[in-house]
C-alpha cells in the first residue's frame, strides 16, 4: 500500500506582474516523508512555501493539506502544520524563551513546558535566557525551527533551514531533521539549493527550476536512474585515450571536454579503470563519478550562480 498523501498541490501557480514565479506545480508529499524541495536561487521555493502556509494567495491552482482545501478551510488545513519562511524574524533584544512566549500567545497560548521542550529539541537549552542578538546564525536558525515546532505539528515546513550555516551547523540541523522524522514521526518538508544537503536527509524530493517542476520521486530512485558518467582528469592524454579505447568491456563511450574526459560507464568499474590507467603509465589527478540528475542539477545551479 502506498503511503497517504498529506500535502498536495494542484496546478499551483503564482504570477507577479507578467512573470510566473511558480507555474503549474503539482507536489505530492506523503506522511512520514522527509521531502526535499530543491531548486536554484529564484526557482520559486519560497514563493511555493508561502502559498503552502497561506501567507500569500495563489494566482491559480489549489493546495490540499490533511484532506482540507487550504483556500476554503484555512484553519483546519493549517492546524497540524508549522513552518518558517526564509529568515525567521525575532525580537533581538528579547530572549529565546520570551520570543517563543510571544509566538505562543499569538497562536492562542502555549504551555510553558512546551517552550522548554522545543528549546531542548533544537539544542538551545543553557542559552534560552540570553538575548537573541547574542546568538550565532546557527542558533537563530535553530530557534526558527523551535518556533515552527511549538504547537507540536504533524508536519513542519522549513525554508532553507541550513542556509548560511557552516558544515558543522548544517550537520546539526540535518541531525535534528532526522530526529524529527525518525523519533517524532513528523513529516518534514525542507527547501534547499544544495543537492547533497537534501540527498543526505530526504526520503523523497522534487526539483523545481524557473517555477516549474522538473522531477519528483524517491531520492534514491531519482539519483540512481539513468546512466551516469565519470569525469577523468589525467595525463598524458594520448595514453589515456589508448587505455579508454582498449577498455571496451568497461567504457561504453567517452567524450573530450575542455578540462577533462567524460566517460560513460558503470560506477562499479571505476577502480578497474583506474588500475589499468595507472598500469599504463597514466597520472590520474581525479576521477569523479557524476550521476545524471546530479549533473543536471549542478548545471542549472551553476548557470544561476553565473548570472548573479
Ligand X SMILES: Nc1ncnc2c1ncn2[C@@H]1O[C@H](COP(=O)(O)OP(=O)(O)OP(=O)(O)O)[C@@H](O)[C@H]1O
Q: Is the CB of residue 35 less than 8 Å from the CB of residue 62? A: no
**Of 39 and 82, which CB lies nearer to ligand X in the complex structure?**
39
Rounded Cα distance, 289 and 266, in Å: 9
State which residue, 121 or 195, has the beta carbon closest to ligand X: 195
Shortest Å distance, C-beta 68 to Mg ion = 26
| CB of 9 or CB of 46, closer to ligand X | 46
Taking the least distance from each CB to Mg ion, the nearer of 49 and 219 is 49
- Binding mask 177-196 toward ligand X (x if CB under 6 A, else -) reads ----------------x---
Q: Which range binds Mg ion by CB under 5 A, 46-54, 125-133, 171-179, 249-257? A: 46-54
Task: Tell which positions 6-45 bind ligand X, by CB under 6 A.
Answer: 16, 21, 39, 41-45
Contact between 212 and ligand X by CB under 6 A: the answer reads no
φ and ψ at residue 146, rounded to 5 degrees: -60, -45
Q: Least distance to ligand X from the beta carbon of 53, Å?
A: 13
Nearest distance from C-beta of residue 45 to Mg ion, angstroms:
5
Contacts of 110 (CB under 8 A, 6+ apart): 100, 101, 103, 104, 150, 151
Match 512573470 to its residue by C-alpha cell: 19
Interface residue with ligand X among 29, 35, 46, 207 (CB under 6 A) is 46
Alpha-carbon distance values, 65 to 71, 83, 88, 184, 262 (Å): 10, 13, 23, 20, 44
For ligand X, the closer of residues 16 and 91 by Cβ is 16
Rounded Cα distance between 60 and 127, Å, is 44
d(CA 254, CA 260): 11
> According to CB under 5 A, which one of 7, 13, 35, 46 is a site residue for Mg ion?
46
Phi/psi-derived region of residue 160, left when phi > 0, alpha when psi is between -120 and 50, beta in every other case: left
Residue 265, SS3 per DSSP:
strand
Binding site residues, ligand X, CB under 6 A: 16, 21, 39, 41-47, 193
Amino acid at each position: 500500500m502506498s503511503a497517504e498523501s498529506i500535502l498536495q498541490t494542484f496546478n499551483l501557480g503564482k504570477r507577479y506582474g507578467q512573470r510566473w514565479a511558480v507555474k503549474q506545480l503539482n507536489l505530492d508529499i506523503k506522511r512520514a516523508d522527509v521531502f526535499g524541495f530543491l531548486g536554484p536561487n529564484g526557482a520559486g521555493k519560497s514563493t511555493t512555501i508561502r502559498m503552502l502556509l497561506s501567507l500569500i494567495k495563489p494566482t491559480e491552482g489549489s493546495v490540499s493539506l490533511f484532506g482540507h482545501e487550504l483556500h476554503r478551510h484555512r484553519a483546519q488545513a493549517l492546524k497540524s502544520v508549522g513552518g518558517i519562511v526564509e529568515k525567521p524574524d525575532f525580537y533581538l533584544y528579547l530572549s529565546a524563551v520570551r520570543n517563543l512566549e510571544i509566538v505562543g500567545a499569538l497562536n492562542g497560548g502555549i504551555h510553558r513546558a512546551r517552550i522548554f521542550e522545543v528549546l531542548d529539541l533544537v539544542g538551545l537549552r543553557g542559552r534560552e535566557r540570553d538575548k537573541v542578538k547574542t546568538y550565532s546564525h546557527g542558533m537563530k536558525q535553530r530557534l526558527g525551527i523551535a518556533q515552527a515546532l511549538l504547537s507540536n505539528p504533524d508536519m513542519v515546513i522549513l525554508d532553507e533551514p541550513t542556509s548560511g550555516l557552516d558544515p558543522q551547523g548544517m550537520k546539526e540541523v540535518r541531525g535534528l531533521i532526522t530526529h524529527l522524522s525518525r523519533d517524532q514521526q513528523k513529516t518534514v518538508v525542507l527547501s534547499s539549493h544544495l543537492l547533497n544537503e537534501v540527498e543526505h536527509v530526504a526520503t523523497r524530493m522534487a526539483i523545481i527550476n524557473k517555477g516549474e517542476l522538473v522531477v519528483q520521486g524517491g531520492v534514491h530512485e531519482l539519483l540512481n536512474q539513468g546512466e551516469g558518467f565519470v569525469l577523468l582528469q589525467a595525463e598524458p592524454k594520448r595514453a589515456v585515450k589508448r587505455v579508454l579505447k582498449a577498455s571496451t568491456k568497461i567504457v561504453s563511450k567517452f567524450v573530450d571536454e575542455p578540462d577533462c574526459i567524460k566517460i560513460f560507464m558503470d560506477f562499479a568499474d571505476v577502480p578497474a579503470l583506474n588500475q589499468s590507467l595507472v598500469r599504463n603509465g597514466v597520472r590520474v589527478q581525479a576521477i569523479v563519478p557524476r550521476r545524471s540528475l546530479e549533473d543536471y542539477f549542478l548545471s542549472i545551479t551553476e548557470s544561476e550562480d553565473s548570472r548573479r
